[in-house]
């Protein structure tokens, strides 16, 4: 449905005002206040999960925005939430890449199609999810948004509202860094400086040494630019450097020490 058939004149004015406000957001606090304020009238939610990356390769980061006490991304391991977000993205594609609503009793936290049983302790009391995503063709990665709610009943126009708000939500969240390091299945932050480079990381560094750009490396290895950048960030942490040039110089001195066998 079109927005002008869903909203009255006052609501439309409020909606446009919120869009303009979103363009001025420059911090996590500002986004939290915005999303937990008047936006709730259009897309009510208690927790917003944002995930971005290459879902086809299983390479993505996530962040959580919520006013609920203790609800932060650094409290959830990547291995716990990865299957849930991956399935949500697949479910979105199955729904013709359109916004959809799913209730908890339809399997979101059980043994149904979504199956996120290992997240039950984190999402106690939540009864429904509103989901949509944005595909970034040029960047070769996608952005998934899952809005969890304690209410089992979503407004009839919530899907239309999320579709309209999402480009602005996505733009706002790009204005600041997420605040946690992705945790692997063991709970250890990825990018451990003491760890050697993996075979894939060494492969990427070989192309870096050959002067290839992130875009060229992505094309050669058939991965997204986001995935290349993600690998490089981990490499920089492991080598304790801050640039490609420093990484090349350090790796050239100790190639055997930094490679896994």
pLDDT over 60 (residue 213): yes
pLDDT over 60 (residue 26): yes
Segment 8-24 shows an average pLDDT of: 95
pLDDT over 90 (residue 36): yes
Q: Which CATH number fits domain 25-173: 2.60.40.1930, 3.60.70.12, 3.30.450.80, 3.40.350.10?
A: 3.30.450.80
Q: Where in the chain is the domain with CATH 1.10.10.10?
A: 199-253
Q: Where in the chain is the domain with CATH 3.30.450.80?
A: 25-173
Query: If pLDDT is split at 50, 70 and 90, which confidence band does 23 have?
Result: very high
Q: Which CATH number fits domain 199-253: 3.40.30.10, 3.40.50.620, 3.50.30.40, 1.10.10.10?
A: 1.10.10.10
pLDDT at 216: 93
pLDDT at 114: 45
pLDDT over 50 (residue 147): yes
Q: Give the whole-angstrom CA distance, residue 250 versus residue 237.
A: 12
- Token pair for 251: 């790796």
Query: If pLDDT is split at 50, 70 and 90, which confidence band does 121 have?
Result: confident
Report the candidate in 4, 23, 22 with the shortest Cα–Cα distance to residue 13.
Answer: 4
């Amino acid at each position: 449905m079109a927005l002008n058939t869903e909203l009255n004149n006052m609501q439309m004015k409020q909606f446009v005002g919120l869009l303009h406000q979103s363009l001025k957001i420059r911090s996590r606090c500002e986004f939290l206040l915005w999303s937990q304020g008047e936006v709730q009238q259009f897309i009510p939610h208690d927790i917003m999960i944002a995930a971005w990356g290459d879902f086809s390769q299983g390479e993505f980061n996530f962040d959580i925005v919520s006013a609920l006490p203790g609800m932060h991304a650094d409290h959830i391991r990547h291995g716990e939430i990865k299957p849930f977000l991956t399935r949500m993205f697949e479910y979105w594609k199955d729904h013709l890449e359109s916004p959809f609503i799913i209730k908890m009793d339809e399997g979101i936290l059980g043994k149904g199609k979504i199956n996120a049983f290992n997240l039950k302790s984190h999402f106690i009391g939540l009864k429904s999810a509103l989901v949509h995503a944005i595909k970034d063709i040029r960047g070769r990665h996608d952005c998934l948004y899952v809005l969890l709610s304690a209410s089992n009943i979503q407004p009839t126009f919530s899907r239309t509202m999320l579709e309209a708000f999402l480009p602005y939500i996505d733009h706002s969240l790009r204005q600041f860094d997420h605040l946690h390091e992705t945790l692997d299945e063991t709970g250890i932050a990825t990018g451990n400086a003491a760890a050697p480079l993996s075979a894939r990381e060494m492969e990427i560094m070989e192309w870096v040494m050959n002067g290839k750009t992130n875009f060229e490396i992505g094309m050669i290895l058939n991965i997204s630019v986001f995935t290349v950048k993600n690998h490089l960030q981990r490499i920089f942490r492991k080598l304790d450097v801050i640039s490609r040039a420093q990484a090349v110089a350090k790796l050239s001195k100790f190639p055997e020490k930094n490679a896994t066998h």
